[in-house]
Amino acid sequence: MGAETIARVLDDRTVAGATILRHLKEHSEGDGNARMVEVEPDLPMRERVYNIQLMQVSEVERRIAMAKTRADDMNRERENLTDAEGNPYPKVDWSDFYDILNKDAQAAIGTILKTQGLVDKREKAQGDLKLGLFEAMASAGLAPKALVGGFVPQLQSGEDDDGD
């Protein structure tokens, strides 16, 4: 990618192509005029929302895993310990460290479920559309015989014409 192209990708009016070129020549090996810079294409909105949903799910799962690990570590440390009266310390539950019923956690989970509901609704609509198309083809006699069974009208070859 050339310096002018990098300036356009950065979309920064304060950095000129000449400034980028001078910087590349000072700090790069080889030809400073050409650089290999990967610019990822913009993803469609559906994929971007899906990626955010995956990040949310991963974060909730990460916090739960951290809470479970912390509880396990504390329980291991308390295993042979007793309080001043000689009673063993009670076991620690992971929900003491991450409460999934907390309003913030519930808001995050609600967002995840809402997004998943929209995805499921879209997939169902597409499936219904495909099924409707197949039914229309079957009733018109256009579906493959192996799928619908029975007689499917066939086109006649052009060689059988009488010349009419």
Q: What is the pLDDT of residues 46-70, one digit of tens each?
A: 888 888 889 989 999 999 999 999 9
DSSP state, residue 15:
S
Please enumerate in sequence order all residues whose Cβ is within 8 A of that of 134, keeping only pairs 6 or more positions apart, or say none: 143
DSSP state, residue 92:
P
Q: What is the pLDDT of residue 86?
A: 85
Q: What is the pLDDT of residue 127?
A: 74
Q: What is the pLDDT of residue 125?
A: 80
Low-confidence ranges of the chain (pLDDT < 50): none
pTM of the model: 0.52
How far apart are alpha carbons 138 and 156 in whole angstroms? 20
What is the token pair recorded at 162? 């009488």
